[in-house]
A and B are shown apart, each in its own frame.
Chain A
């Protein structure tokens, strides 16, 4: 017997699913007939979402490349006025489109997807996908320092949402489709399914949920397969030979983690400071903000650093292969941070994924080059530092520590650098968290007036369990094989409810009054198991959370807490009062 089935059957979510709109669905659609069939169909749907998202992302990438060729020319070179004029005009067009045609296309798209999951029941207008596609392709293609990953994530989520609505899926399923599409979009954009799945869990879903993990993984994988079909299996940048040469190098990687953390904090604080201020400026200035950002970025390109324009994957590739001096790498990292801050706070649609990787790679390469300059015997290849640097910024700025580690491993396909990656990323994450308590995505959502769950906050929360609030079971515990008369004899003068242990397992409760009534009805010779017709009590285990317990304690005086290996062995009971008392105590402790 599985307690999971018992518990799942009475979850608040499933009760919500029985609301009126879903009752309507039940009468019309096949999948309301069977939860299992719906789950199976949902998995198949996840594959289709992966395919459609990938196709959309392929088109999106072509659109960016086409825009880049047409707007900046096949090979953007410094000292060409086109680098300033064209991005400026494109910025104006993008601003007009965002303000008048696609208002939801503004920003990165990660928060919008998360909001769809938690606030709008999985609803993302299809128009948002179209708007994101057009405006982000124009912006990134014209050299704005933004990446295609976050928009791809939103495009995927938007497509999934549209498909779910078209199929009239239940609200619960519709809500889950957004992260499924998001994972597919991100996996297609980054050509890395594992990182995409982890990122969606860390940043979009914001909690570990096994419920949709299968669908998320399926959509991400199918999406990557399709993208590779069209665009090839090559990663976004070539990975050089990487590895840890000697353990002493870990000091150098630790330095990288510390420097990366400070860079990430500067990056996040600047965005957090400038974004609300620019948005508070008069509305007419918003037409010119993307244009002004484009002018500054174009000027940087014009004066000799066109590398900061656009997503910049080709320059990450070059940094990994030792093509820049450490000074140039450091300059590029700084310029990219400035360019990305300007692009992002101006409200230009586009993502922060690629710029983060760019800054990390340049910073890593710079520190690697610097250390190699001073300690030639100590350090490994610049490529290794650039690769670790990408993870460092990812952990420090985007604050997705697990994704940051797996991303580096997945992209490099090399597990020999796991120790430097973990050392550097952990340092970056811890320092960044200490200096900037609110992660960038949470900061942005709060600036937008929303409060969405975050995995980082969840990690810090104390989990209260049944064992923290349970009390001793009322005695005596009656046996289902005893007769009603025998039981009455044991509890005749005792008040309250008593537990009855049924054979082979299961629990019921009974009062002295009920026993007296049964005896009066002439059922004194019957066993308790056969005389009691009340439904069996739900039961819990000591390690269940108090949230789980709350679902059951409101309708019965107490719920038995039993051993996981022996359901007949009573560990205690838990009641509503005890649960609430525990919550009150915990809150008081936290306030103190």
Chain B
């Protein structure tokens, strides 16, 4: 067969016609969205089933939408490091769980998408967070993240120790100290209290709860620097340092890492400590892993004997700093729509409930429908009923002002816990330590502003 020669003109006409036909065909075809491929960063908590439940929930979304979700973990320890490295390398995830101060910090850096519209959609589907939690995600009137749950500290005590000595269960820091004095038995290596001023949330978190409950704050309501050289701060600092001077704590308390108080409480070396429900998780888990009937009975008794009380209050009320976890979507995300879809899926009451049931009480949902769905779960026993109220007493970093980058840096600089350490370790006076702390805070606000 002889080949017909195609002229350049015919070739151009032919390709143009074919191109137009293809283009028309594409426009008419139903929009086929490319499968989403998202990176999700979540906090790895001490309660492994919670981590697995969140991961499983994300994978359910991926299966439903024909995409993939790569779940990566950060821990309490490397939370800052991972985000800092990702931000500087422009390698942020699509969706990231953000702790209390992170939305303000990252929004200030221009890293987060403004989720104002999406927040309204979520509000219509799942409801609003309580008024004291909502400001965590709002900076300058814009919403940068959607709150999911609160991981709060509670005041853990051994019920039998209090009953034996007929000591009142504490409701304030002062009562907790008095109880510690009454329960202290150093000769038996048993101490009334275990509160470390270390560089974890067990240190700087409790210090903030203490300060705020005593009415001591480093900002005004507008978020401007305010001096902490006040009688309220002196009282808070006295409490923080007297518990070390009075010998009511194990001698190595200041050196405890994040798990030190858990271990010492569970081992019954201390009568009271502030901690999240990971203690309850460990004790419930111990029952599940009991080797025989006698072992099981012993562990069940211990479980029934441990109490999680509301965090103590002070002369100015009960204000509890906690980790408020939210979802933020990073500007670098190549597929913000899918990222929002994933967040909406995770926040749905069904998925929230699924994760919460594997959380041993440490996951207290904050959105209306999530809270409503969790009511039965938190009615399991007295400890769980307390866990369920976590959001009630919550105050964020930098109370009474809004969270700002400067307030977040005050917490991150460890100045809040280094100040009592100066009194305990370096034998400074309370006033000297407050003076030093105030100077550091002022410097931070001087360079970062509000």
Q: Do A and B come from one complex?
A: no
Q: Which A residues have a C-beta under 8 Å from some C-beta of B?
A: none
